[in-house]
Amino acid sequence: MNRKALKLDAKTLLNAHFKFFLLLFIPVFVLELIGGYMTAPENDYNVAFNATAATPIWTGQQTFGTIVSILSSIIAIGIAFVCIDAMRQKLTYEKPLQKSMTVFDNVDYFLGTILIYIIETIFVFLWMILLIIPGIIKSIAYSQAFYAYRDAVDNGEKISYLDAITRSRKLMDGHKWEYFVMALSFIGWGLLVVVTLGIAAIWVQPYMALSYANFYRELVDEEHAKTLAAADSINQGTQTDANSNPSESNNESDKD
DSSP string, 51-90: HHHHHHHHHHHHHHHHHHHHHHHHHHHHHHHHHHHHHTT-
Q: What does the domain layout of the chain look like in residue ranges?
A: 3-102+164-230
Question: Residue 200 and residue 205: Cα distance in Å, rounded?
Answer: 8
- More confidently predicted of 43 and 20: 20
Mean pLDDT across 87-110: 92
Q: CA distances (Å), 2 to each of 45, 81, 207, in order?
A: 47, 22, 17
Give this prediction's pTM. Answer: 0.81
Mean pLDDT across 135-139: 91
Which residues lie below 8 Å from residue 79, measured CB to CB, with a gap of 6+? 24, 25, 28, 99, 100, 102, 209
pLDDT in tens, 222-251: 988 888 877 766 767 666 666 666 555 455
Question: Residue 131 and residue 137: Cα distance in Å, rounded?
Answer: 10
State residue 245's pLDDT score.
Answer: 61
Which residues lie below 8 Å from residue 206, measured CB to CB, with a gap of 6+? 14, 18, 21, 22, 24, 25, 83
pLDDT in tens, 118-136: 999 999 888 888 788 888 9
pLDDT in tens, 23-72: 999 999 999 888 877 766 555 544 455 554 445 555 667 778 788 888 99
